[in-house]
Amino acid sequence: CFNRPIASNPGAHIDVVERCSYDQQKSMKVLGSLDNLDNDAQRQEYRQGEYFVESENGSAVRRCVNLGSYNYLGFADDWQVSCAKEVKASLDDLAVSTSSCRNEYGTSSIHRQVEKTVARFLGKEDALVLNMGFNTNATTIPALVGRGDLIISDELNHTSIVNGARASGAAIRIFRHNDTSNLEVILRDAIIKGRPRTRRPWNKILVVVEGIYSMEGEYCDLRNVVRVCKKYGAYVYLDEAHSIGAMGPTGRGCAEYTGVDTADIDIMMGTFTKSFGGMGGYIAASKETIAFLRQRCAGSVYHNSLSPVVCQQVLTSFKVIMGEDGTTIGKQKLQALRDNSNYCRMRLQEMGLQVLGHYDSPIMPVMLYNPCKISAFSRECLKRGVAVVVVGFPAVPILMSRARFCISAGHTREDLDRALKEIDEIADICNLRYARSMFG
Ligand code: PMP
């Protein structure tokens, strides 16, 4: 019941396919499709999850408020702004696939445009664009470090970082989540003791953190990470998958939000799958580092390059965020994301739920603790037209099961209020209002 197939573009609303019995289907109002609805009132009702439509294989499709996708600025389904128009128009000129990797025939001028835009946006010398965020971590880290090097990684870093770190052949130490005193202890120890057996100094030490941690909704204590790394001469690698375009007054991510100069972050990684409504990932760094990665990073050398049409989506999203489209839409979206996130977090806390993370973060995990509550919570949400992601073992410790809400600028206040009303009722059904304990 955790991952149901979806029948439409995930945006502020999403159609979720219900696997239901024939008898259940008979009792449903079958309306054909949204286009067949007679009037706005019916459409509104449908939008609000009251109605089902029949899908091809006879199962029912329910429209839900989407609190499960990382569509932070709403670009993934925003057909109003210039974004969509430019992307549609680009289909006349640009190929969907380059069918080649970057170092062969897969680099077009639009790839360079995206790279220059990323570098300019972040105040770095240059950037490299890859076709997947996951691959960006998984193939850049092994290009940057190897045997004789040390990676010090936050314990809650994403799997793509873990994969990259393991594949690199570098030694790996883990520090307690977002705990920079523990990071300092490990760094100092690594420098005093050096490499095992030989006790020679480490060639390089790379500290890897994320801007916002996706299972916790917390942002990184970046100021202290940078301070400690400077003190011991370690390199900083920051994964901004969830923070780029979602944090900071102008969407420039965790560095902007925490007041850290991007010159102090050696490697800035991010993805286009979330705030930009596209695909792919980037590394922004010094000219020399990027030139080196262009030759050494397997994700760039051996993988098909990013789709040119997706490059257009990314470029246009950047243009809107930076206000270079001549409108204030980007500014409004950033403000809406922050307002929606803080409103939701406040309301969930007022309900007496255990909400993890920080204000201003669009990710809001609500603790279920007991793993038996996972499927009940998910089922009740879907039944009431609210699509959420529930998280259990092994993604989180077994007694730290949770439901995770992802907020978007595309949500209206009515969407959020409707979802919150349902969650309030489900909190009683699943007995979620209790003081911090394992089995409320
Ligand atoms: N880094 C982090 C922190 C992530 O959460 C994710 C995926 N959610 C990725 C990298 C991989 O990015 P993508 O889904 O764009 O491949």
96 and 226 part of one domain: yes
pLDDT at 148 over 80: yes
Average pLDDT over all residues of the chain: 89
- Residue-wise DSSP of 314-348: HHHHHHHHTTTTSSSHHHHHHHHHHHHHHHHHHHH
The answer to whether residue 129 sits within a structural domain is: yes
pLDDT at 136 over 50: yes
The predicted pLDDT at position 440 comes to 41
Instruction: Tell me the residue ranges of DSSP E strands in 6-82.
Output: 13-18, 52-54, 60-66
Say if CB 51 and CB 29 are below 8 A apart: yes
Show the domain range for 288: 82-321
**Residues carrying an active site annotation:** 214, 242, 274
pLDDT at 78 over 60: yes
**Last residue of one domain, picked from the residues 271, 299, 321:** 321
Backbone angles phi, psi at 250, to 5 degrees: -115, 15
Tokens standing for residue 64: 């839900």
Q: Which atom of ligand 1 is nearest to the CA of 137?
A: 10
186 and 230 part of one domain: yes
pLDDT, average across residues 273-280? 96
The answer to whether residue 304 sits within a structural domain is: yes
Q: Cβ–Cβ contacts within 10 Å for residue 371, how many? A: 16
378 and 249 part of one domain: no
Closest Cα to atom 1, ligand 1: which residue? Answer: 241
Q: Which residue has the tokens 């190929």?
A: 95
The predicted pLDDT at position 15 comes to 72
The answer to whether residue 8 sits within a structural domain is: no
**Last residue of one domain, picked from the residues 280, 300, 321:** 321
**Last residue of one domain, picked from the residues 267, 295, 321:** 321
Confidence of residue 45 (pLDDT cuts 50, 70, 90): low
Distance 153 CA to ligand 1 centre (A): 16
Tokens standing for residue 131: 């076709």
173 and 263 part of one domain: yes
The answer to whether residue 6 sits within a structural domain is: no
Q: Which atom of ligand 1 is nearest to the CA of 273?
A: 15
148 and 275 part of one domain: yes
Strand 218-219 and strand 212-213: pairing? antiparallel
Q: Best of 156, 159, 160 to mutate for ligand 1, by most ligand atoms within 8 A of CB?
A: 160
227 and 375 part of one domain: no
In this structure, what CATH number is given to the domain that contains residue 203?
3.40.640.10
pLDDT at 337 over 80: yes
Going from the C-alpha of 351 to that of each of 98, 314, 364, 426, the distances in angstroms are 50, 38, 14, 11
248 and 336 part of one domain: no
367 and 243 part of one domain: no
The predicted pLDDT at position 322 comes to 97
Distance 120 CA to ligand 1 centre (A): 22
374 and 409 part of one domain: yes
- Give the pocket of ligand 1 (CB within 6 Å): 132-134, 137, 158, 160, 210, 214, 239, 241-242, 271, 273, 281
Distance 150 CA to ligand 1 centre (A): 23
| The model's pTM | 0.90
Share of the chain above pLDDT 90, in %: 78
How many Å is the Cα radius of gyration of the chain? Answer: 23
Residue 150 CA from chain centroid, whole number: 27
Burial (Cβ within 10 Å: 0-12, 13-18, ≥19) of residue 34: middle
150 and 265 part of one domain: yes
Going from the C-alpha of 66 to that of each of 74, 244, 257, 332, 415, the distances in angstroms are 11, 21, 26, 20, 9
Closest Cα to atom 13, ligand 1: which residue? Answer: 133
The answer to whether residue 438 sits within a structural domain is: no
How many domains, in total, are found in the chain? Answer: 2
Confidence of residue 9 (pLDDT cuts 50, 70, 90): low
Give the largest CA-CA distance in the chain. Answer: 77
The answer to whether residue 179 sits within a structural domain is: yes
**Which amino acid does the sequence have at 137?**
N
159 and 205 part of one domain: yes
The answer to whether residue 4 sits within a structural domain is: no
In this structure, what CATH number is given to the domain that contains residue 421?
3.90.1150.10
The predicted pLDDT at position 117 comes to 98
Say if CB 226 and CB 296 are below 8 A apart: no
Distance 134 CA to ligand 1 centre (A): 5
Buried b / exposed e over 280-305, threshold 16 CB at 10 Å, is: bbbbbbeeebbeebbeebbbbbebeb
pLDDT at 214 over 70: yes
The answer to whether residue 434 sits within a structural domain is: no
Query: In residues, how long is the chain?
Result: 440
Strand 150-154 and strand 171-175: pairing? parallel
Among 142, 135, 133, CA closest to 165: 142
174 and 194 part of one domain: yes
